A = this chain, B = another copy of it.
Amino acid sequence: MQPPAPMPTDPDPTPLSYEQAGVNYALIDPLKVSAQRAAAATAPQLLQHGFSELAASRGESAYVVDLGPFYLASIVECLGSKAIVADEMAQLTGRSWYDAIAQDTIAMAVNDLITVGATPLVVQAYWAAGGSDWFADADRAQALVAGWKAACERCGVAWGGGETPALAGIVEAGRIDLAAACTGLVNPKQRLSLGERLGPGDAIVLLDSSGIHANGLSLARKLVERLPQGWLTEVQPGLSYGAALLAPTLLYSPVTEALWRAGITPHYSANITGHGWRKLLRHAKTLSYRIHTLPPVTPVLDFIRRHAGQDDREAYSTLNMGAGFALFVAAADAERTVAVAQAQGVGARVAGVVESGPKQLRIEPLDLTFADDALQLR
């Protein structure tokens, strides 16, 4: 992690919010709530097969079913609009960036699946192109395949197969909708980390991010209109804004697997994606989360914050600001958790502590507080 380069003055002082960038959660959320209720009502279907769901996994990042000898976890996640950045940068640089966004797509699924304590086992690819023509660019297609395979190997998962439809009329011409479904097991069952053991005194270990990961791209794309050289504007000497955005999302499953081997079972985990640091408030328990030490802000995120004119509240409630994944562990395991992550090549630090008190996130170095109502996921 390098220190951020000196920033030019923001050419447009008007702040740019996430909503202005085109994502309106007020429109999406009623459907989400309705779907969540309907989904929860289907849980009894499992009983006829001799299984049952873990109701506590509803509202968490992966759905968990008790199979008897172990728990089954499953999820589907999409890349989102980062593919557009890869497309733009391919035009400007003459090479494909699909190896990078393949890793992003798998990370979106795998990093969610592991939050419940699962070991990811199988990934299915969902690559829906805007027409058969999409597949004619062999270099891009091969970059996608190679990046997907490499990310599977890094996570220790088998790539089971997938679907490569040509969806002219649904997906825009020249674009692709990338998603991944992931299935895994919590095995042995004591690895389950739905937060039952989360409580006062636990340490909060934050794992570094590599950049923007795959959330906040609508904002990042909107921002490019303000930049003098567009995607090629330098974030730091020799590193363009586009290339910095396309640093692939870190894969955290090697860390969670290594923790298990080291005898450490997190009490809870949070994948820091949409809603930024508000994701630290994810668990339903009434607890206070006090952050005393910040990770360094990845240069591209600092660049976005400055150019979008975001204050700390907006930035930390939208972007990962250097922290890609949070592990809530017993205080006695905190330093060793950091060491295990670092041994896997992932930067980490003991950043805070869980305390009794109202449900809130307190980021002391920034004098910022997010209350309970800052995150509504259920």
Which residues of A does B touch, CB under 8 Å?
A: 22-25, 27-28, 30-32, 34-36, 38-39, 41-43, 45-46, 48-49, 51, 53, 58, 63, 65, 67-70, 72, 74-78, 80-81, 83-84, 119, 121-122, 124-126, 128, 131-133, 135-136, 138, 141-142, 144-146, 148-149, 152-153, 155-172, 175-177, 179, 181, 183, 185, 187, 218, 221
Tell me the bound Cα distance from A179 to B124 in angstroms: 12
A110 → chain B closest CB, angstroms: 12
Enumerate chain B residues within 8 angstroms of A165, measured Cβ to Cβ.
78, 80
Determine whether the beta carbon of A65 is less than 8 Å from that of B171: no
Per a CB cutoff under 8 Å, which of B75, B135, B156, B157 touches A27?
A: B135
A217 → chain B closest CB, angstroms: 10
Enumerate chain B residues within 8 angstroms of A221, measured Cβ to Cβ.
169
Q: How many copies does the complex hold?
A: 2
A216 → chain B closest CB, angstroms: 13
Per a CB cutoff under 8 Å, which of B39, B128, B161 touches A159?
A: B39
Enumerate chain B residues within 8 angstroms of A187, measured Cβ to Cβ.
49
Residue contacts A-B, CB under 8 angstroms, 13 given: A22-B132, A35-B164, A39-B159, A39-B161, A42-B158, A49-B187, A63-B161, A65-B122, A72-B183, A77-B163, A81-B168, A163-B179, A170-B172
Determine whether the beta carbon of A34 is less than 8 Å from that of B142: yes
